[in-house]
Structure 1
């Protein structure tokens, strides 16, 4: 008698769920665009942070676009040359979605709906 086949169901989903649950999340693109990349105040403050013993590299080596701390300046320099950083910068060049765009994508926009004002049949013929 041979060994019975193990059940193979749901293992992949469980592993993906477990990895997503324990992974440290970084800031989303819209948060970085609207808050961190503001050239007036936030970007300069993030690049010149005071010493913080809780963060990697004492919070002295920070990539604003990726919202990541690095241990050394050399690690930050090599990160700027990496594909991950370049891909993130390319994604940040596109404008952030607005609330109106999100509502239109969900089917809640104003296009395709009747106008709120009532027009007479004569006025409707003139528009068409």
Structure 2
């Protein structure tokens, strides 16, 4: 065996990391929820002026996925795809807030619900 032989199990992992570094990034889900799905911004994004730098002259844009498409047919077929449906489902969930991220890191308040109290009857009714 030569010293340049690599293990076959790590190749797929390496290629995934390489692809994520070089792939063009789109907007994150929280950016789309807070900015693009606002009715004013959505109408602006759907009816953009001609832009010769963007694919399809910026006339075929999917707001949920933040992507431009070359033709109207490509955009319509994208709307039927699993990728678009998954993104729409993810956008229906509420966006993470700064408070939630601080709580996850252990910096914020405990995960106690405000106004929830436990009574003796609740403890007696709960299965052991």
TM-score under structure 1 normalisation? 0.77
Residues 1:58 and 2:57 are matched in the alignment: yes
Taking the TM superposition and a 5 Å limit, the aligned residue runs for 1:79-118 are: 79-111=78-110
Number of aligned residue pairs: 109
Matched residue, 1:71: 70
Residues 1:27 and 2:27 are matched in the alignment: yes
CA-atom RMSD in angstroms: 1.9
Measured in 2, the distance between the counterparts of 1:11 and 1:83 equals 27
C-alpha distance 44-15 of structure 1, shift in aligned 2 (>3 A) = same
Matched residue, 1:46: 45
C-alpha distance 7-62 of structure 1, shift in aligned 2 (>3 A) = closer
Decide which structure has the larger Cα Rg and report it.
Answer: 1
Alpha-carbon offset, residue 111 of structure 1: 1.7
**1:71-93 per-position Cα deviation (integer Å, ceiling 9, x unaligned):** 11111111111111011000000
Measured in 2, the distance between the counterparts of 1:71 and 1:38 equals 25
Alpha-carbon offset, residue 15 of structure 1: 2.6
Alpha-carbon offset, residue 8 of structure 1: 2.1
Q: Which runs of 4+ in 1 moved over 6 A?
A: none
Measured in 2, the distance between the counterparts of 1:60 and 1:101 equals 37
Alpha-carbon offset, residue 11 of structure 1: 4.3
Structure 1: gaps (5+ residues): 113-128
